[in-house]
Structure formats: C-alpha cells, structure tokens
A and B are shown apart, each in its own frame.
Chain A
Amino acid sequence: MLVDGLVMRYDERTAVDGLSFEVESHTITAVLGPNGAGKTTTLETCEGYRRAQAGTVRVLGLDPVRERSALLPRIGVMLQSGGAWSGARADEMLRHFARLHAHPLPVDLLMERLALHECGRTPYRRLSGGQQQRLGLALALVGRPELVFVDEPTAGLDPQIRRGVWELLEELRADGVTVVLTTHYLEEAERLADKVHIMDKGRLVASGTPLELTRGGTVATIRLVVTQPFPPGSPEALAAALGENTELTVLDPLSLQVSGPADGSTLAKVAAWCADHDVLPESLSLGQRNLEDVFLELTGREDFS
C-alpha cells in the first residue's frame, strides 16, 4: 500500500496535508495521532470512500476509487461504529456478510474467537458497545481479505478481550494478512506494530519501528510525582539548575518530567532541588522513553486519548 503526497480538505480546513507513507505486506502498521490528526480521513481515502484531492493512493496496487470493484473483495474494513440493521441479530449479520464472499471464514470460529458466541441471537441494537465493535472486526475479517483496515479495534474493551483481539491480529499477520490499524492506545501500537506512523495536523511527524522511535540513545527520562503542588517558581529554578541540555516539562501540578543526559548528575540535581524547595517526592522513576513519550514530544499535546 502506498500513500504519496495525499491532500484532503474540507471546506477551509486541511485534514491531510501532503501525507506520504508505505505499508509493507504481511505486517501490522499502526497509524497514531491525536483526534483530528487526519487518521480516519486517510484511511477512508485508502478504502475508496473519499477521492484523493491531490497525491496518489494505491492499495494492493489498485486505485481505491477507480478500481474499487476489483479492490473491494481483497480488503476488509472495520468501521468505527454502526453499519448494521438494528433488528439484525449478530450471527445473522455475520452470516449475511459471509455469504457475500466466495471463500468466507467459518462464522462459528470467528464468533468464538471474538467472544461473540454468547450474544449471537441478540439484535444489533441491544449489543453492548464492545460487542458491536467486535462484530465490526468480525465483519471485516469474514471474507478472508489480504489487507484489513481496523479503526480503533480495542477502544473500550475489557483488558482480557483486548488481549484476545491482539492475539487475533498477530495471528492474521502470521497467516499472511496485512493489517493497518489506527489506535489511541500507544501500548497497543508498541506491542503489535511492526511499523508506526505518527500523524499530527494532517502531516506525518515520525515513522519507524517502535524500537527506532523509542530509542533515546543517551537520553533518559526522569518522572517525578509529588504530594503537594510545586511551590511557585520552583519548576523554573529546576530548569535553570539542569541547564541547556535538559528539557523539563510540567505535566500537571503534581508531576513533571525531565529528559536529559542519562547520568548521575541529572538525578543529583533533581534530588538537590527537592531538598531546597521542601518538595516531598511521592515517586521518582527513571526510564527509557516509551511510545507515549515520543508521541507527546512530537504532537505536543496531551489529548491523545
């Protein structure tokens, strides 16, 4: 799959601004970004729902709009919500989709794997949000596609079921299916994805494997949580003490993060500052960056969930 220089505008607003990336076959690729970053617009363009206003999109080598009828049988699309007759039962809906395909997966197997067998007879409108979502994933998979687009596959699911969905997605990859997913859960991208693309304001701000993105080299992150709000002016004093090579971010009134050289002097400065300002630490953690840190640094916002 290839996206090259994609531009999409709604009225005045530019949703996608010159986006380019590639997806390799038989991998899981995660597209991350804050709300409004253009993830869904990008995916819908790849799925052929929208026509690229500029740039090129090719999915399995095909133009998603002009060659839609050739492309549709080969892809599976999971919609974020809705998309079922309110009176149709869960198993009926899935069987219906299975019959529209030439070589569908066994419906019972999918129902079992996605923990839907208990609500098979329930009409769609009475399924819980999580059940509707898993049915959406089942509908995307039932036609044995070569490539699936999954939009927020585990949002709002129980941890146990979420793990089941992750295992399913990993099995898809092992069996030769290409998976493109959007997610708000950085943990999900970190665990599943072979490649991560981070979008912000319609642009690609970073691409790479989770390891490449989180490898901070000699940079360490110190996260400090305190019991009382920081005294006025004290974060500025810490920033001054740490010097130029270090970056200080106040996350909220009770926590802050320091990124800087991974040596003892950074830690000593933070400890000395605590003593000088009568700040009582509740927790002090040291660590490598995770995808969440990368994400926050790049998008500069905390509203990623």
Chain B
Amino acid sequence: MSGTFAPAPGGAPVLRQLVTQAGMEARLLLRNGEQLLIAVVIPVIVLIGAVRGADRVGLDLDGRPIDVLTPGVLALAVMSTAFTSLAIATGFERRYGVLKRLGTAPLSRTTLLGGKVAALLLVEVIQFAVIGGVGLALGWDGPSGVAGVLCAVVAALLGTAAFAALGMLLAGTLRAEATLAAANLVYLLLLAGGAVILPASAYGGLGDVVRWLPSGALGEAMRAACDGAIAGRDLVVLLAWAALGSVLTARTFKWE
C-alpha cells in the first residue's frame, strides 16, 4: 500500500525519545510561573534575605554567613525542583491523563522516568548557575577547587534521587490538588525547620534529629561539599531515603 498515511510504525531510538521527553518536561517546568517562582525566585530572595538578616541578627555561624548559606540555598533549590515541582507536575499529569496518553506512545516507562530525571537535572543546572552567580556576587568563595565541585555534584545527585523518589510517591498516590497542597506544605516546613539553609548545628539539641531528614542530610552534605569534604553519613541518609522512596513509589504509584 502506498499513500500519505501508509503505515510505517516504529518507535524512535531511545536516546532521541529521552532527549525529546526531557526537553518537553524542562520547557513546561520553566514556562510555568509558579514553578519558576519556587525554583529560582524564592531561593534567590531567601539567599539575599538570609545573608542580610544573619548580619543584623548576629546569627552564630561557623564562618561567614554567605559561605554557610549559599550551599544551603543550593540544597533548597534541589528540594524545590526534585520534590515540589516534580510532585505537582506529575500529579497533574496523572489528573489530566497525560501519563495515560504517553502510555499509548512507543515510550517505555524507563525512558519516561529517565526523561523526567534529565529534565530535573537540566533545571537544577540553571538554578545552580543563577543562585551560585548571586552568591558569588555577594562575596561567596565558591566550592573549594575541583574536589569541592565534584562533592557538590554528588550531593546534588543523591539529593535529587531522594527527593524525586519522595515527590513521585506523593504524586502517585494522592489526588492532584492534595499533591499540590502537600508538596508545598512539606517544602515550607522543611525550609523553616529542616536544616536545609541553616546548618543542623543551629538547631541545638534537635540538630542530630533533623540530620536524619532528607532536607537536613542534603543541607549538611552540600555545606561539607563546598568545603571540599564528603559528608559520608549524610550521603548514606540520602541514599536510604532514595531507596525507601523508590520502593514505596514502585509499589503504590497509580498511572491513572
């Protein structure tokens, strides 16, 4: 048979599908006003506000406020994208039947998830460029050498894994509106009390407890990384959250 619509079925190569899917998801994330607010605007405001505030209140930190706070805000950026943005976007994808429709395309679930992860990492690179740039402009020393950069990348990757697994868990079980509310609430609670921006040591006796939270572990790991150190315990905590979140998500996620 020939003609305009003559069948020629087949899926595109996996790599092309992955790039396409990642590009689409990243564009949609960045196009959405609220998502952009939570991804870039809020972290930058928090960074500037906290640095000014720390000087005024006389917060007792190990080192200059800008050097302690910038890695914390980078950790916050990972949390906002990998957890809050991902959960909300995925919740509405379920609600609007996007996942169902993608399920009719020759796109495997692995490629779909791979595309989501790649989109998160792409957005995070942009966030790190903006937040790091603002930090440097405010006098941040930056990560110490190549080792510091590598440690920060490891911390960001493990943090992304942990928070993305938890975000998918939320999105795959709750209704879209409930996901929206819960993802924002958890974000705010962890922002305020999760040892993301302020080091765990600033929480007094609770400091040891909050380090078991993914937020505290990521914050500590990021702060250590920017000093060129590997925070073994915190990275293991992140890995454990990632594993727990993935197992629970795999068991409970509903595609529709």
Which residues of A are at the interface with B, using a C-beta cutoff of 8 A? 26, 47, 49, 69, 72-77, 79, 81-88, 92, 96-97, 99-103, 105, 109, 139-141, 143-146, 171-172, 174-177
Residues of B within 8 A of A47 (CB): 104
Once the chains bind, are A84 and B100 in contact (CB under 8 Å)? no
Once the chains bind, are B104 and A175 in contact (CB under 8 Å)? no
* Cα A9 to Cα B98 with chains together (Å): 26
Residues of A within 8 A of B21 (CB): 100
Once the chains bind, are A72 and B5 in contact (CB under 8 Å)? no
* Cα A100 to Cα B31 with chains together (Å): 22
B11 CB-CB contact with A under 8 Å: yes
* Cα A174 to Cα B108 with chains together (Å): 31
Expressed in whole angstroms, the minimum distance between the Cβ of A214 and any Cβ of chain B is 29
Residues of A within 8 A of B9 (CB): 73-75, 101-103, 143-146
Once the chains bind, are A105 and B4 in contact (CB under 8 Å)? yes
* Cα A24 to Cα B65 with chains together (Å): 73
- The stretch of B12-20, B133-141, B155-163 in contact with A is B12-20
B105 CB-CB contact with A under 8 Å: yes
Per a CB cutoff under 8 Å, which of B6, B92, B97, B101 touches A175? B6
Per a CB cutoff under 8 Å, which of A84, A97, A102, A171 touches B3? A171
Expressed in whole angstroms, the minimum distance between the Cβ of A93 and any Cβ of chain B is 9
**Chain B 49-72 interface mask (CB, 8 Å, partner A; 1/0):** 000000000000000000000000
Per a CB cutoff under 8 Å, which of B4, B12, B97 touches A100? B12
Interface size, B (range): 20 to 34
Per a CB cutoff under 8 Å, which of B3, B93, B106 touches A101? B106
Residues of B within 8 A of A146 (CB): 7, 9
Expressed in whole angstroms, the minimum distance between the Cβ of A104 and any Cβ of chain B is 8
Which B-chain residue is minimally distant from A149 (CB atoms)? B104
Once the chains bind, are A141 and B12 in contact (CB under 8 Å)? no
Residues of A within 8 A of B103 (CB): 49
Residues of A within 8 A of B105 (CB): 72, 97, 100-101, 143
B250 CB-CB contact with A under 8 Å: no
B28 CB-CB contact with A under 8 Å: yes
Which A-chain residue is minimally distant from B3 (CB atoms)? A175
Once the chains bind, are A176 and B92 in contact (CB under 8 Å)? no
Residues of A within 8 A of B4 (CB): 105, 109, 171, 175
* Cα A77 to Cα B104 with chains together (Å): 6
* Cα A93 to Cα B16 with chains together (Å): 16
Which B-chain residue is minimally distant from A83 (CB atoms)? B101
9 residue pairs A–B, Cβ–Cβ below 8 Å: A72-B104, A74-B7, A82-B96, A84-B98, A85-B96, A97-B105, A99-B20, A143-B106, A144-B9
B189 CB-CB contact with A under 8 Å: no
Expressed in whole angstroms, the minimum distance between the Cβ of B22 and any Cβ of chain A is 11
B244 CB-CB contact with A under 8 Å: no
Expressed in whole angstroms, the minimum distance between the Cβ of B149 and any Cβ of chain A is 33
Expressed in whole angstroms, the minimum distance between the Cβ of B251 and any Cβ of chain A is 19
Per a CB cutoff under 8 Å, which of B5, B31, B106 touches A73? B106
B107 CB-CB contact with A under 8 Å: yes
* Cα A249 to Cα B17 with chains together (Å): 58
Expressed in whole angstroms, the minimum distance between the Cβ of B19 and any Cβ of chain A is 9
Per a CB cutoff under 8 Å, which of B3, B32, B98, B104 touches A176? B3
Which B-chain residue is minimally distant from A109 (CB atoms)? B4
> Which residues of chain B in 74-118 are interfacial with respect to chain A, using CB atoms and an 8 Å cutoff?
92-93, 96-98, 100-101, 103-108
Expressed in whole angstroms, the minimum distance between the Cβ of B37 and any Cβ of chain A is 15
